[in-house]
Structure 1
């Protein structure tokens, strides 16, 4: 059965523009990945209560293309917390041509490490 509602909290919303498209009119996967990195960085930074860095992108799955004019919505959640790292689960959904059907287009898990002011690993603090 197809998923009909996004998992996680709404974190980022943007519009897919012609400058982000390939010759076929589909949005570059790298653009979608960069939007997901921004969204997951917000979640990771909030959970870590400070500076974080992306260290891995796991299980990136492109399900459907994003098209020019689609509204891209990124939903995310803290999937796991380790000593110095966190896994942030993400789903990207679109609203087709700004008014159409909502569809899931991408999912992934981004891994972040918490950093101190000098850029060294630090402990992820307990949840507040």
Structure 2
């Protein structure tokens, strides 16, 4: 987050936008956390695939906390920021944002650190060519 700004804004590049649908809700009508994690994984894999120049696999997810529920109809937006590129891995922070139902202001839902490893056509770890 940018400490200079009074209003937080997404960090990183837009990687995915999807509308939260009724089929993605729990009994209370809120979007499942697991559904959000799957969207984050897809967004991160898009970025990691680009960085790695090919197929990747998710190997770790760290540091997630949900800050606010997501309502049906919300446009869920995932932003990715590459933290580190290793010999065969890519570490990415994925942030999820929605717009407020009331005033349209951006609201941060969650963020997590995803680690992907580059793999070859046989599913074995491969080096990322730089």
TM-score of the pair, normalised by structure 1 = 0.92
Pair 1:4-2:8 in alignment: yes
Q: Structure 2 regions of 5+ residues with no counterpart?
A: none
Once the two structures are TM-superposed, the CA of residue 122 in structure 1 deviates from its matched residue by: 0.6
- In the other structure, the counterpart of 1:90 is 94
| Displacement over 6 Å in runs of 4+ | none
Q: Number of paired residues?
A: 126
Pick closer, same or farther for the CA change 1:98–1:79 going to 2, 3 Å. farther
Whether contact under 8 Å (1:68, 1:97) holds in the other structure is: no
Whether contact under 8 Å (1:71, 1:97) holds in the other structure is: no
1:116 to 105, 114, 120: 120
Q: What value does the CA root-mean-square deviation take over the aligned residues?
A: 1.6
TM-score of the pair, normalised by structure 2 = 0.90
Cα distance in 2, alignment partners of residues 14 and 3 from structure 1? 23
Whether contact under 8 Å (1:71, 1:98) holds in the other structure is: no
1:30 to 31, 34, 38: 34
Pick closer, same or farther for the CA change 1:99–1:31 going to 2, 3 Å. farther
1:101 to 91, 100, 105: 105
